[in-house]
Amino acid sequence: MRVGIAGAGAWGTALAHAACRAGHEVGLWAHRRETAEAIARTGESPYLPGIKFPAAVAATTDIAETAACDLLLLVTPAQHLRATCAAFAPHWRPGTPAVICAKGIEQGSGELLGDIVAATLPGVPWLVLSGPTFAREVAEERPSAATVAAHDATLAADVAAGLATRRFRLYSSTDPVGVQIGGAVKNVVAIAAGVVEGRKLGDNARAALITRGLAEIGRLAAALGAEPRTLMGLAGLGDLTLTCSAMQSRNFSLGAALGAGRGLDEILGERTSVAEGVWTARSVATLARSRGVDMPICFAVEAVLHGGADLGATIEALLARPYVAE
């Protein structure tokens, strides 16, 4: 089939490689003309240099051309998803499923990405693809696994089977809410884990933070009607473990820089990639408070990033919290 990919960043590039290996023709839409021109000129993405595209990938800035497909992957950053869907809506072919491949919660509205797709692309069947996947490793065909979730079990299974290869294993799920929460909130926890690294607080502290972070993710997911077992899978525990354990993670490395004493504006100013956890922290905190869910780690990250809270004092406040039953 023909697969359209909206978003030519690192993850969109990796998914283009994966879709080609699964036997499909790929149309890769770039928001910026210079990105599409660079791909046409060099045969590789400026976001993943050194990995040549197969001939079955064609980069373009033409939305209508990209939307003329059998399956469309939405891989733009979470905070730009609404605008991307609105731009693609007039060109969407009836019956073509949308696969959300971004991770985050929209600022302001506090809406999950599936809700945004449902509102901006009414009637379009949508799914979520999420899991412990660094883009370069997927593009290089190193063994990876992720979850494809939809309310329709048959749709989830069909799309997973259609995109999977031996080295890109995809498991289907009927819990798109849990998969979205796992993918979004782990970025916030990863910033906290990076702070632990930057402050040299030790491996014990990082393991404790990951564990308590997973508990927070589970509480919010449950409040939104997700299945608890989803958070024990690839889109929950798997993604959280990966993102909290390696400098390849944009959120973990940002937290490490914060922990080492650098300012947020300085860190963001020298980056071209998006650390979704920075923007998701505020949305997660707002959503949690509206549902009465206690998420002290996420609240602490929000306070440091957006509330001017002192990092050292925030860490001490977390360590001084009352002991409770696990």
Query: Residue 64's closest CA among 20, 96, 100, 21?
Result: 96
Helices of type H across the chain:
10-21, 33-42, 63-67, 81-88, 113-120, 135-139, 153-163, 176-198, 203-223, 239-243, 250-259, 264-269, 276-291, 296-306, 311-319
Contact 213, 297 (CB under 8 A): yes
Which listed residue (52, 103, 186, 200) is catalytic?
Answer: 186
d(CA 231, CA 189): 14
Residue type, position 117, single letter: V
Catalytic residue flag (residue 103)? no
Bridge partner list, 148: 129, 172
Contact 160, 110 (CB under 8 A): no
- Tell me the CA end-to-end span of the chain in Å, nearest whole number: 49
Residues catalogued as catalytic: 186
